[in-house]
Amino acid sequence: MAKASSKGPDSFGKGNLHAIAAAESVNSAVVGANLIPLLLLGIPSSVGAALANSAFMIRGVQLGPLLFSDQGRLIYGLFGAMVMTNVINLLIGQIGLRVWIKVVSAPESMIYASALLL
Q: What is the pLDDT of residue 110?
A: 87
Does any domain span residue 103?
yes
Q: How many CB atoms lie within 10 A of CB 79?
A: 12
**pLDDT tens track for 32-84:** 788 889 999 989 988 988 999 999 999 999 998 898 889 889 999 989 998 99
**104 part of a folded domain:** yes
- Write down the pTM of the prediction: 0.62
84 domain residue, yes or no: yes
Number of domains in the chain: 1
In angstroms, rounded to a whole number, what is the distance separating the alpha carbons of residues 39 and 56? Answer: 10
Structural domain includes residue 47: no
Is residue 95 situated within a structural domain? yes
In a domain, 101, yes or no: yes
Are 44 and 53 within 8 A, CB to CB?
yes
Q: For residue 88, is it within any domain? A: yes
- pLDDT-derived band at 1, boundaries 50, 70, 90: low
